[in-house]
Amino acid sequence: MREQMLEVKSNRGRIIPCCPNCVRYYTNCMSSSDNAATKMQRIAAVARAFTPVTPVGRLEMLAGRMPQLTDIVNAVSQSGQHVGLYGERGVGKTSLANVLAEFFSGALQEHVQAVLVNCSTEDSYETIWENVFADLGIPLHEDEVAALSPENVRRRLQGLKPPALIVLDELDRLNDDYALTALADTMKTLSDHAVPSTLVLVGVARSIGELVGEHASIVRALVQIEMPRMSVPELSEILTTGCMRAGLDIQPAAVEEIAVLSEGLPHYAHLLGLHAGQGAVQNDRDEVHLRDVQAAIPKAVERHTILNDYQQATRSAHRDALFAEVLLACALAPKNPLGFFTSGAIRDPLEVIAGRRLEIPAFSNHLSQFLEPTRGAVLQREGSKSRYFYRFTDPIFQPYVILNGLSEGLITDEQRRQFQTAEDAAELIPGEFEPNAPPKLF
Ligand SMILES: Nc1ncnc2c1ncn2[C@@H]1O[C@H](COP(=O)(O)OP(=O)(O)OP(=O)(O)O)[C@@H](O)[C@H]1O
Ligand SMILES: [Mg+2]
């Protein structure tokens, strides 16, 4: 019978899975069958530590984000204040909301009860609140659901003990315009009546105005909290703590490579951390090297949900059509903090990728086509004919294009570094992500 696996502390202070007889590294003491089982166990430990598609659920798994957490905790602690949490897709909004809910329902259980409800395209004002009250342990009858209005909701929340922290995630998915108006009215009446419960509205948007539209203007008590992309140190923390949890060390060069390639989006830090960590385990190492990151890139791109969109954007019957090359040059072009670039900025990276200098007329048709639905409208354009500004419609697409370019050999890692450096990544993280700012470049 196979011996039960334990976790022991290595002589460098790391926890590594090990058999009961082992006093040092697992590789030094395993029979080959046990070795295979242990390897699988270590691979599973890496998969638990790096979760590219699952939002963080617990505070100890959350890297960085102290400024945003502090702002929210301050707002929630003020009676009559509500929160609008907004940011690009994939920056970690749900993770922060989860941690907040866990914090308030865990540490402060006797003071606050937290519920988190996801909005969907099918939802109305009534179904949102039906879900909220069900999660609060107050199921409503059909006729009570039909009667839900801002005043009715306010009355129900007024007597609630302990008060509630109500997180409504994915608000941008709501199609029902009345629901947004009624939610704004609800915040206003909760605030006017000093009801101690707090609403936290979460959604993909560049500004709270975009998130709740016209309705925001009437809500004075709405604290706006932006979720910027993560900084290089925050992304590095995901990697170092993730590796530590999986019983691995990671070389600083590997951390930096992943942090820069992630472009501020924690999804990619988890994705590359997962494959690089598992690569190290496969090779019987307990340290992740730069070469593990390089080997992780093809694995990260080939099964990604974005692959189909990428293929749609770049497909062509002609081998020299340059769609993949131009899109990669767009991904590497210098950008302003809002992600905008000009066609002129594409020339330098395109020269390196294509191996020859191409002027704007040679690729302006490609840019126009990237705006079209037939190519998935992967780019969007602002400005006027005298000067257009482009950016990726879905920010999560841009790092993918670079990873795919590396995987397909369109560019070498060394060439990529000419355009994507740790210093640039640190500067480009749009902390000052101005809502609705004009696309002013540099
Ligand atoms: N602070 C963090 N520390 C560690 N991992 C994080 C952090 N924030 C987010 N992540 C990870 O990044 C990925 C995306 O996070 P999350 O789903 O919370 O983003 P989101 O902004 O809600 O995305 P969407 O816009 O698609 O709803 C997840 O894998 C999550 O585990
Ligand atoms: Mg989310």
Does pLDDT of 25 surpass 60? Answer: no
Q: How much is the average pLDDT of 281-296? A: 96
Q: How much is the average pLDDT of 45-58? A: 93
Q: Which residues contact 257 (CB under 8 A, 6 or more apart)?
A: 290, 293, 294
Q: Is 372 helix (H, G, I), strand (E, B) or coil?
A: coil
Residue 171 CA to ligand 2 centre (angstroms): 10
Share of the chain above pLDDT 90, in %: 61
Q: Which residues contact 8 (CB under 8 A, 6 or more apart)?
A: 15, 16, 18, 22, 23
pLDDT of residue 420: 86
Q: Is 83 in the pocket of ligand 1 (CB under 6 A)?
A: no
**Domain annotation covers residue 95:** yes
- Where do the H-state alpha helices sit in 50-87? 66-77
- Looking at per-residue pLDDT, the higher value among 241 and 442 belongs to 241
List, in sequence order, every beta strand (DSSP E) within 127-248.
164-169, 198-204, 222-227
User: Looking at residue 146, which CATH number applies to its domain?
Assistant: 3.40.50.300
Element (H, E) at 104: helix 93-106
Residue 78: pLDDT band by 50, 70, 90 thresholds? confident
Mean pLDDT (the chain) is 85
Q: Is 116 in the pocket of ligand 1 (CB under 6 A)?
A: no
**Domain annotation covers residue 415:** yes
Q: Is 52 in the pocket of ligand 1 (CB under 6 A)?
A: yes
Q: Is 298 in the pocket of ligand 1 (CB under 6 A)?
A: no
- Looking at per-residue pLDDT, the higher value among 266 and 432 belongs to 266
Does pLDDT of 424 surpass 80? Answer: no
Q: Is 51 in the pocket of ligand 1 (CB under 6 A)?
A: yes
CB of 427 closer than 8 Å to CB of 335 = no
Question: Is residue 80 domain-shared with residue 194, that is, in the same domain?
Answer: yes
Does pLDDT of 277 surpass 90? Answer: yes
Q: Is 204 in the pocket of ligand 1 (CB under 6 A)?
A: yes
Q: Is 394 left (phi over 0), alpha (psi -120 to 50) or beta?
A: beta
Closest C-alpha residue for ligand 1 atom 28: 55
pLDDT of residue 89: 86
Residue 125 CA to ligand 1 centre (angstroms): 26
pLDDT of residue 441: 37
Residue 426: pLDDT band by 50, 70, 90 thresholds? low
For residues 173 and 2, give the distance between their C-alpha atoms in angstroms, rounded to a whole number: 50
pLDDT of residue 77: 82
Question: Is residue 88 domain-shared with residue 221, that is, in the same domain?
Answer: yes
For residues 437 and 339, give the distance between their C-alpha atoms in angstroms, rounded to a whole number: 12
**Domain annotation covers residue 407:** yes
Closest C-alpha residue for ligand 1 atom 15: 92
Most confident segment among 175-184, 220-229, 257-266: 257-266
Q: Is 267 in the pocket of ligand 1 (CB under 6 A)?
A: yes
Among the residue ranges 28-42, 256-270, 424-438, the one predicted with the least confidence is 424-438
Closest C-alpha residue for ligand 1 atom 8: 92
Instruction: Write the pLDDT tens digit of every residue in 326-354.
Output: 999 999 999 887 789 999 999 999 999 99
Instruction: Write the pLDDT tens digit of every residue in 168-180.
Output: 999 988 888 888 8
Residue 428: pLDDT band by 50, 70, 90 thresholds? very low
Residue 93 CA to ligand 2 centre (angstroms): 5
**Domain annotation covers residue 59:** no
Does pLDDT of 191 surpass 80? Answer: yes
Residue 265 CA to ligand 1 centre (angstroms): 8
Residue 74: pLDDT band by 50, 70, 90 thresholds? confident
pLDDT of residue 1: 38
Residue 240 amino acid letter: T
Q: Is 95 in the pocket of ligand 1 (CB under 6 A)?
A: yes
Residue 109: pLDDT band by 50, 70, 90 thresholds? low
Question: Is residue 294 domain-shared with residue 194, that is, in the same domain?
Answer: no
Q: Is 56 in the pocket of ligand 1 (CB under 6 A)?
A: yes
Domain interval for residue 72: 65-227
Q: Is 63 in the pocket of ligand 1 (CB under 6 A)?
A: yes
Residue 215: pLDDT band by 50, 70, 90 thresholds? low
Residue 169 CA to ligand 1 centre (angstroms): 13
Write down which residue in 302, 324, 355 finishes a domain.
302
Closest C-alpha residue for ligand 1 atom 17: 55
Question: Is residue 292 domain-shared with residue 222, that is, in the same domain?
Answer: no
pLDDT of residue 260: 95
Closest C-alpha residue for ligand 1 atom 13: 267
Q: How much is the average pLDDT of 240-260? A: 96
pLDDT of residue 423: 62
- Looking at per-residue pLDDT, the higher value among 1 and 320 belongs to 320
**Domain annotation covers residue 352:** yes
Residue 325 CA to ligand 2 centre (angstroms): 31
Question: Is residue 152 domain-shared with residue 94, that is, in the same domain?
Answer: yes
Q: How much is the average pLDDT of 245-253? A: 96
Q: If we measure between CA atoms, which residue out of 223, 35, 199 comes closest to residue 115?
A: 199
Q: Which atom of ligand 1 is closest in space to residue 90's alpha carbon?
A: 23
- Looking at per-residue pLDDT, the higher value among 288 and 383 belongs to 288
Question: Is residue 83 domain-shared with residue 207, that is, in the same domain?
Answer: yes
Q: How much is the average pLDDT of 28-48? A: 80
CB of 28 closer than 8 Å to CB of 284 = no
Question: Is residue 38 domain-shared with residue 127, that is, in the same domain?
Answer: no
Does pLDDT of 193 surpass 50? Answer: yes
- Let me know how long the chain is: 442
Residue 8: pLDDT band by 50, 70, 90 thresholds? very low
**Domain annotation covers residue 436:** no
Q: If we measure between CA atoms, which residue out of 11, 392, 63, 87 comes closest to residue 255?
A: 63
- Looking at per-residue pLDDT, the higher value among 156 and 321 belongs to 156
User: Which two tokens mark 429?
Assistant: 């993280």
Q: How much is the average pLDDT of 6-23? A: 50
Question: Is residue 183 domain-shared with residue 248, that is, in the same domain?
Answer: no
Q: Is 383 in the pocket of ligand 1 (CB under 6 A)?
A: no
For residues 7 and 286, give the distance between their C-alpha atoms in angstroms, rounded to a whole number: 14
Residue 227's beta-bridge partner residues? 87
Question: Is residue 421 domain-shared with residue 318, that is, in the same domain?
Answer: yes
Does pLDDT of 398 surpass 80? Answer: yes
Does pLDDT of 384 surpass 80? Answer: yes
**Best mutation site among 51, 95, 433 for ligand 1, i.e. most ligand atoms within 8 A of its Cβ?**
95
Centre a 10 Å sphere on the Cβ of residue 312 and count the other Cβ atoms it contains. Answer: 13
Closest C-alpha residue for ligand 1 atom 16: 92
β-strands 222-227, 82-87: how paired? parallel
Question: Is residue 329 domain-shared with residue 414, that is, in the same domain?
Answer: yes
For residues 199 and 228, give the distance between their C-alpha atoms in angstroms, rounded to a whole number: 21
- For residue 313, the Cα-to-chain-centroid distance in whole angstroms is 22
Write down which residue in 185, 203, 227 finishes a domain.
227
Question: Is residue 127 domain-shared with residue 148, that is, in the same domain?
Answer: yes
pLDDT of residue 245: 94
Write down which residue in 172, 201, 227 finishes a domain.
227
For residues 10 and 20, give the distance between their C-alpha atoms in angstroms, rounded to a whole number: 13
Share of the chain above pLDDT 70, in %: 84
For residues 69 and 100, give the distance between their C-alpha atoms in angstroms, rounded to a whole number: 8
For residues 239 and 256, give the distance between their C-alpha atoms in angstroms, rounded to a whole number: 10
**Domain annotation covers residue 194:** yes
Residue 4: pLDDT band by 50, 70, 90 thresholds? very low
Q: How much is the average pLDDT of 151-158? A: 95
**How many distinct structural domains can be found in the chain?**
3
Residue 216: pLDDT band by 50, 70, 90 thresholds? low
Question: Is residue 74 domain-shared with residue 141, that is, in the same domain?
Answer: yes
